[in-house]
Amino acid sequence: MSANTPAEAAPGPSSNEPNPRGSETRGSDPRTSGRAGPAVDGAKLVRERRMNNAKKNWALFRSDVPALIGAVVLLFFIVIAIAAPLIAPASMLDVTKQLDVPRYAPPSLDHPLGTDDLGRELWVRILWGARVSILVGVAATVMSMIIGTIMGLAAGHFTGLFGGIIMRIVDFFIVLPSLLLAIVLSSVLERGVFTIVVAIGLTSWASTARIVRSQTLSVESRLYIERARILGAGHFHILFRHLLPAVMPLVLANTTLTVGGAIIAESTLSFLGLGDTSKESWGTILKNSMDVSAATSGYWWYVLTPGVAILLVVLAFTMVGRAFEAIINPALRSR
Amino acid sequence: MTDLQFENVSITYRSSSDRGDVVAVEDVSLDLPAGATLGIAGESGSGKSTLIMSALRLLPKSARLEGRVLLGGQDIRELSFGQIRAVRWAQASIVFQGALHSLNPVREVGSQIIEALEHHSKGTWTTPQKRRDRMFELLAEVNLETSKSSAYPHELSGGQKQRIMIAMALACEPDIIIADEPTTALDVIVQKQILSGLARLVAERGISLLMISHDLAVLSAVCANLAIMRHGRLVEYGPSDEVCLSPQEDYTKQLAGAFPQIGDPESRLNPRTLKPAEVVRAEPFTMTDEVVLEAKNLSVSFDTRRGRERAVRGVDLQLRKAEILAVVGQSGSGKTTLARSLLGLQEVEAGSQLSFAGKALPKQAKALRAFRRKVQMILQDPAGSLNPKRSVYEAVVEGLKVQGIRDQEYERVIGALEAAELTPAEDYLESIPQELSGGQRQRVVIAGALALDPQVLIADEPVASLDASVRGEILSLFLALKKNLGMSALIITHDLGLAWNIADTVAVMKRGEIVEYGEVDRVLSDPQHEYTQELLAAVPRLGSQSLVRNE
């Protein structure tokens, strides 16, 4: 049958045009040259096309003003979170070293964001709190996205008993009050940042799974999936070459929107006193402020500062997320 | 009675894309006097749909109309919104293209017919009871039982849905019916029923009919006058017999030739096209006796709500090396199920025997994968068969990757694309499906199958969604593949002309059974089974308004 391969039966590129790539291949041993020369070529074409697509999307993103503002705000918070130890040494949080500082000092030039009940500078606490809040927000979201994508793909792709069982598990997590579950998890497990990440991640993936599943189902019915099957593809190929790339944009857009929720969830848990009390976080600051009745005593800066920080970061993530969504789904752009 | 006149109509679509303004219709003048029938033929993109939409001012906002469209002597551009609403449906109504998707899936079809009556009660159908009676009257007119009025669209077949659409168009006793591809996607027998229904209405009611199709034979079966459009311009216009049987323009000849006349020796094994695929072998392969793919007593059943339904019953089929076998039948006759089970994509009943090259079809995933390298299938819709995000190169290389063929990847892709006559192949590698025409997409799909170097190609309606001129090209490609590579092909179609064009043997399927099976020349020129005869009789012939005069 080899004499009849299309590659040989059809007039190859080398026979009718002076293509150095083609003639070189024809001349030498097909096995080695197939790998070294032109085989790379095909892959390179694919890579170039993807680069171009990425550039186009980047241009679209840049033309979106709210998204840029969001990105700048995010970048600012990430930079101050990373650089926290350089800007404000950890000793500034040590109560034992803040004996000569006034307690409950309102915002002024000496104390830009005011001080708390122990005389600590609030801006330092915000700085250090950003580390935990953003880390937990992103880590919990990544965890929830990974679980959600895997479960959603599996529920959409596999039919019959297996798919049914997965979908019931998803349903179970959807109807569960997630905050309650997170509270239970974080009080049962050892205290710490990691526990909070697990608690939030485990409770927030179900809605992602539902979205991914519906997208998977719609892609699954396309003819090109059937064509892949005809070409001999198994589950692995269909899941990772067709379905995953098709749901990935949706997952990414969903990620940025979920980060905001995760940051709020972290604050909620810390506020309820379930977080790691030894570490600063925006939720912890809020909890402390409530412990001393800051709002009713007129220490407005104590409540407002962490609240505004949470608001800014969540808003920034949402604006970036919306821009991602618009890039994936052109129909949203004009709205 | 109302006349419809197009006077020097030009329609331009404004577009902000790189293509700039698109001229869809250019300087077309046509006349449809009351009670006349006019057919407009042309390929996709010829502007025929745009032209008729202008008759009811249904064009999108980006369209600019020049010239005049006169309905009953009145320029439709001068009508107010209220007046144009009154005109729509009461004077002229449209049977839309893709009627199968034009019905609301969550409402009973009867109430959808009543909807048209509610909007245009015209003083006649003023009470709900009168409207209901009128609806039953309409159903009777299009030969549907009254019980169908409470059916939902998904419970009806394609032909029944099309008839509902026609009943809706008739609802307010319009003077003009505009039908946009009313029978595309329907099989010949249903097509004949729909066309003769339309023809009867025209004759009895004196309704004028403006019909659009890409199929000259369909138009000539019903319409007295024919207009041929290409690139927005009128190419030829005249009485339908003249246009069909002695066309003046080359383009008309090409259109007329695209759908072969069964029995015409000139088109036997010779699809007419301006771009025939090259036969490069000095001694082209011809059909041999070596059986490649064989089915014995093949049965397939599905579980439906109404119990178990048998889609394929006891089919015996043999595909020999370098044979092209056409499986012909109406929609719902089990053709596609048969093809899927030959590929092992469909579970078959116990007792069915499927074998490839003398060995039974494997069951395990690994062996099936190896089997599919040798037997490939091309799906019905080339647009849907390609992942919209992946380039031509990725689409063709996919099979190689799946099958674990690593060496000479680039050469194999280029070779397959050239074997599918997509040349120069290098220019297409980076294109994504959206940038390709329907015919090119189908070639990419075929190339994807060819890259695996299969021995058998199964094609499900490979040309049904393609234009007439492309149809010839793809069919000649199948013939060339057989002659050059000795490939066997099983082609599923509802189009007997296709079998006449390229097939060696033909199997006629009805309700999951093969009723007639044999060489094309014998079966099509001397059909034994009455179903084959019925199918053959339903194929519209060029000219002579065959369906109207037979009635």
Chain A closest-CA separation from residue B111 CA (Å): 30
A179-205 pLDDT tens trace: 888 888 888 888 888 888 888 888 888
DSSP three-state, residue A116: coil
Query: Is residue A23 situated within a structural domain?
Result: no
Query: Is residue B367 situated within a structural domain?
Result: no
Query: Is residue B100 situated within a structural domain?
Result: no
Q: Which chain B residues touch A1 with a CB distance below 8 Å?
A: 453, 455
How many C-beta atoms surround the C-beta of residue B538 within 10 A?
19
Encoded amino acid at A167, one letter = M
> Nearest residue on chain B to A245, judged by CA atoms?
B389
B69-81 pLDDT tens trace: 888 888 888 888 8
Burial class (CB in 10 A: 0-12, 13-18, 19+), A73: middle
Query: Is residue B127 situated within a structural domain?
Result: yes
The helix (H) or strand (E) run that includes residue B205 is helix B188-205
| Residues 10-39 (B) with a CB less than 8 A from some CB of A | none
Query: Is residue A254 situated within a structural domain?
Result: yes
The verdict on A160 touching B (C-beta cutoff 8 Å) is no
Indicate the average pLDDT of chain A. 78
Q: What is the mean pLDDT of residues A289-293?
A: 82
Give the single-character DSSP code of B269.
T
From B444, B462, B438, select the one nearest B391 (Cα to Cα). B444
Q: Are B308 and B506 in contact (CB under 8 A)?
A: no
Whether pLDDT at A108 is above 50: yes
Whether pLDDT at A22 is above 50: no
For residue B209, give the CATH number of its domain.
Answer: 3.40.50.300
From B366, B380, B374, B419, select the one nearest B396 (Cα to Cα). B419
Q: Are B449 and B420 in contact (CB under 8 A)?
A: no
The verdict on B465 touching A (C-beta cutoff 8 Å) is no
Q: Quick one: B167 and B191 in the same domain?
A: no
Q: Quick one: B164 and B33 in the same domain?
A: no
Encoded amino acid at B391, one letter = S
DSSP string, B108-155: -HHHHHHHHHHHT-TTTS-SHHHHHHHHHHHHHHTT--GGGGG--GGG
| Residues 317-376 (B) with a CB less than 8 A from some CB of A | 343, 345, 365, 368-370, 372-373, 376
The verdict on B446 touching A (C-beta cutoff 8 Å) is no
Q: Which of B173, B194, B224 is the last residue of a domain?
A: B173
| Torsion from C-alpha of B13, B15, B17, B21, nearest 10 degrees | 60
Query: Is residue A3 situated within a structural domain?
Result: no
d(CA A295, CA A287): 11
Query: Is residue A176 situated within a structural domain?
Result: yes
Is A9–B414 a contact, with Cβ atoms under 8 angstroms apart?
Answer: no
**Could you tell me the two tokens for B114?**
């009543």
Q: Quick one: B151 and B219 in the same domain?
A: no
A152-186 pLDDT tens trace: 999 989 888 888 899 899 998 888 887 888 888 88
Q: Which chain B residues touch A48 with a CB distance below 8 Å?
A: 430
Q: Quick one: B2 and B87 in the same domain?
A: yes
Q: What is the mean pLDDT of residues B442-466?
A: 87
Q: Which residue has the higher pLDDT, A214 or B172?
A: A214
DSSP three-state, residue B365: helix
d(CA B215, CA B542): 10
Q: Which of B229, B258, B287 is the last residue of a domain?
A: B258
The model's confidence at residue A20, banded by pLDDT at 50, 70 and 90, is very low
Is B402–A8 a contact, with Cβ atoms under 8 angstroms apart?
Answer: no
From A237, A231, A216, A218, select the one nearest A158 (Cα to Cα). A216
For helices A244-271 and A206-220, the axis angle rounded to 10 degrees is 170
Q: Quick one: B43 and B83 in the same domain?
A: yes
Query: Is residue A52 situated within a structural domain?
Result: no
Chain A closest-CA separation from residue B397 CA (Å): 9
Whether pLDDT at B551 is above 50: no
Q: Are A166 and A155 in contact (CB under 8 A)?
A: yes
Query: Is residue B58 situated within a structural domain?
Result: yes
How many C-beta atoms surround the C-beta of residue A105 within 10 A?
18
**What is the pLDDT at residue B155?**
79
For residue A315, give the CATH number of its domain.
Answer: 1.10.3720.10
Q: Kindly report the backbone phi and psi dihedral angles of residue B218, in degrees, each rounded to the nearest multiple of 5, phi listed first.
A: -60, -45
Q: Quick one: B2 and B42 in the same domain?
A: yes
CA distance from start to end of chain A:
57
Q: Kindly report the backbone phi and psi dihedral angles of residue B525, in degrees, each rounded to the nearest multiple of 5, phi listed first.
A: -95, -20
Query: Is residue B110 situated within a structural domain?
Result: yes
Whether pLDDT at B255 is above 90: no
Whether pLDDT at A8 is above 60: no
Q: Quick one: B246 and B169 in the same domain?
A: no
d(CA A12, CA B424): 10
DSSP three-state, residue A232: coil
B349-386 pLDDT tens trace: 888 888 888 888 888 888 888 888 889 998 888 888 88
d(CA A217, CA A195): 34
Whether pLDDT at A30 is above 70: no
B303-359 pLDDT tens trace: 766 677 788 888 898 899 889 999 998 877 888 888 888 888 888 888 888 888 888
**What is the pLDDT at residue A330?**
61
The verdict on B441 touching A (C-beta cutoff 8 Å) is no
Burial class (CB in 10 A: 0-12, 13-18, 19+), A278: exposed
> Nearest residue on chain B to A237, judged by CA atoms?
B402
From B27, B108, B94, select the one nearest B66 (Cα to Cα). B27
Q: Are B99 and B108 in contact (CB under 8 A)?
A: no
| Residues 196-235 (A) with a CB less than 8 A from some CB of B | 222-224, 226-234
Query: Is residue A212 situated within a structural domain?
Result: yes
**Could you tell me the two tokens for A60?**
């679209």
Is A6–B451 a contact, with Cβ atoms under 8 angstroms apart?
Answer: yes
From A141, A161, A163, select the one nearest A151 (Cα to Cα). A163
Percent of chain B with pLDDT over 70: 95
Q: What is the mean pLDDT of residues B465-490?
A: 85
Query: Is residue B401 situated within a structural domain?
Result: no
Q: Quick one: B85 and B4 in the same domain?
A: yes
Mutate which: A5, A50, A225, vs B, most B CBs within 10 A: A5
**What is the pLDDT at residue B16?**
61
> Nearest residue on chain A to B399, judged by CA atoms?
A231
Q: Quick one: B87 and B181 in the same domain?
A: yes
Q: Which residue has the tokens 């395990």?
A: B364
The model's confidence at residue A42, banded by pLDDT at 50, 70 and 90, is low
The verdict on B384 touching A (C-beta cutoff 8 Å) is yes
Query: Is residue A134 situated within a structural domain?
Result: yes
Whether pLDDT at A40 is above 60: no
Of A35, A45, A230, nearest to B429 by CB-CB distance is A45
Is the peptide bond between B424 and the residue preceding it cis, with omega within 30 degrees of 0? yes
The helix (H) or strand (E) run that includes residue A60 is helix A38-62
The range of the structural domain enclosing residue B111 comes to 105-173
Query: Is residue B57 situated within a structural domain?
Result: yes
DSSP three-state, residue A138: helix
**What is the pLDDT at residue B500?**
87
Whether pLDDT at A41 is above 70: no
Is B369–A25 a contact, with Cβ atoms under 8 angstroms apart?
Answer: no
How many C-beta atoms surround the C-beta of residue A8 within 10 A?
14
**What is the pLDDT at residue B305?**
66
Q: Which chain A residues touch B409 with a CB distance below 8 Å?
A: 34, 38-39, 42
Is A13–B426 a contact, with Cβ atoms under 8 angstroms apart?
Answer: yes
Residues 6+ away with beta carbon under 8 Å from A124? A88, A92, A93
A44-100 pLDDT tens trace: 777 877 788 788 888 888 888 888 999 999 999 999 888 888 887 777 777 677 667
Is B368–A5 a contact, with Cβ atoms under 8 angstroms apart?
Answer: no
Is B397–A42 a contact, with Cβ atoms under 8 angstroms apart?
Answer: yes
Query: Is residue A1 situated within a structural domain?
Result: no
d(CA B389, CA A50): 10
Of A7, A49, A246, nearest to B415 by CB-CB distance is A7
For helices A160-175 and A122-157, the axis angle rounded to 10 degrees is 150
The range of the structural domain enclosing residue A255 comes to 64-332
Q: Quick one: B68 and B137 in the same domain?
A: no
Chain A closest-CA separation from residue B384 CA (Å): 5
The helix (H) or strand (E) run that includes residue B68 is strand B63-71
Q: Which residues pair with B179 in a beta bridge?
A: B95, B211
Whether pLDDT at A258 is above 60: yes
**What is the pLDDT at residue B326?**
92
Is A230–B343 a contact, with Cβ atoms under 8 angstroms apart?
Answer: yes
Q: Quick one: B87 and B186 in the same domain?
A: yes
B111-161 pLDDT tens trace: 888 888 888 766 777 788 888 888 888 888 888 888 888 888 877 777 788
| A/B interface, count of CB pairs below 8 Å | 145
The verdict on A133 touching B (C-beta cutoff 8 Å) is no
Encoded amino acid at B189, one letter = I
What's the domain count of chain B? 2
Q: What is the mean pLDDT of residues A116-135?
A: 84
Give the single-character DSSP code of A242.
I
Q: Which chain B residues touch A10 with a CB distance below 8 Å?
A: 280, 415, 418-419
**What is the pLDDT at residue B474?**
86
Give the single-character DSSP code of B418.
H
Q: Quick one: B182 and B153 in the same domain?
A: no
d(CA B311, CA B296): 15
What's the domain count of chain A? 1
> Nearest residue on chain B to A41, judged by CA atoms?
B410
Whether pLDDT at B183 is above 90: no
